[in-house]
Amino acid sequence: MSATGTRPNAWKRFWRRRGTGIATSVLVIVVALALAAPSLPLPTPSGLAPELASQSPSATWTTTDGETLTNLREDWPRATSLREMVFDDSEWSGVLGTDALGRDVLSRIVWGARVSLAVGLVATLVSVLIGVVWGATAGFVGGRVDAILMRIVDAMYSVPLLFLVILVVALLRKQENLDIDRLTVLFVVIGAVSWLTMARVVRGQVLTLREREFVVASRALGSKPAATLRRHILPNLWGLVAVYLTLTIPRVVLFEAFLSFLGLGVEPPGVSWGILASEGLESLSAVSTTWWLIVFPGLALVVTLSALNTLGDALRDALDPRTSR
């Protein structure tokens, strides 16, 4: 079957899978809210209001103070202009309650989505880039190069990557003379330890592809190895890469949440879903239970990860040539 005939069938199988439409809608809403966070009529995620501390969910319209609007104009000029044009100086506060410092939970969830999704996407792209280059080189060149590269992968598999990440993040945290943003560290470190499976999968695919007739014909016609790899091998890997991308993002988002939960991720006053989960857990006590601090951030994380996993499974089934339904 030709590639042009396969793609429409793949998309039909993708959208026919149960839950794909709902998962796509959920993900679109989450991403749209995260991108539009500066334009939404919500309190700032780090804005303190001790008089509103630990209030249960109850939506109220209030007026944003001038200093807050001034800071928003400096940080997000276009988004703040849009916000003032649509909502004037009003803001919707207390929808999902407040924490012990009076900070708005909904605002912190929306702004936390920006960080968690950004870490998930960028770190996954880093891992895909390393994994594809490493695996394609090993599989296409073969021989001693393949043996050396894959032994390195095997050696790295034997290292507890979780502890390695925690160690690197903790060491960089103590290097005050290094002007490195914690978010950049998360991008690089998580991405740099998440590529091993991608490298193995790509290598196996390349080993199969390099024996196919069109690759053998390309070599017989005198094509250079780099040209053969670029024109015939890499284009046949994009479906595999797309599936890996969608299935890895939720794993990386969860990993970032875990690191932030341990205090090794995003630093306050920054906010991510992991920080919110940690704060929610700390708020639980036998005396008073502010349930909204753990339920709503946890729900946002679970719903988003479930949507990403559903899309990844649907894409994997749609691109599987053995799928006939």
DSSP 160-182: -HHHHHHHHHHHHHH-TTS---H
Q: Provide the domain limits for residue 194.
A: 3-28+111-319
State which of 84, 103, 122 marks the end of a domain: 103
SS3 (DSSP) at 89: coil
pLDDT digits 0-9 by tens, 60-77: 888 888 888 888 888 888
Residue 280: partners with Cβ closer than 8 Å, 6 or more residues away: 290, 293, 294, 295, 297, 298
**Domain check: are 49 and 120 in the same one?**
no
Which residue's structure tokens are 């993900």?
27
CATH number at 13 reads: 1.10.3720.10
Q: Does residue 267 or residue 302 have the better pLDDT?
A: 302
**Domain check: are 93 and 122 in the same one?**
no
Q: Is the pLDDT of residue 103 over 70?
A: yes
**Domain check: are 8 and 133 in the same one?**
yes
State which of 48, 75, 103 marks the end of a domain: 103
Residue 324 falls within a domain, yes or no?
no
**Domain check: are 7 and 80 in the same one?**
no
Instruction: Tell me how far CA of residue 25 lies from CA of 18, 22, 268, 308, in angstroms.
Output: 13, 5, 31, 11
C-alpha torsion 108→112→114→118, nearest 10? 170
Residue 157: the pLDDT is 83
State which of 48, 82, 103 marks the end of a domain: 103
Q: Is the pLDDT of residue 268 over 90?
A: no
- Number of domains, the chain: 2
**Domain check: are 115 and 201 in the same one?**
yes
**Domain check: are 65 and 180 in the same one?**
no
**Secondary structure letter of residue 270 according to DSSP:** S
The residue among 241, 247, 243 whose CA lies nearest residue 318 is: 243
Reported pTM: 0.81
SS3 (DSSP) at 215: helix
Residue 325 falls within a domain, yes or no?
no
pLDDT digits 0-9 by tens, 159-194: 777 777 777 777 776 665 555 666 777 777 788 778
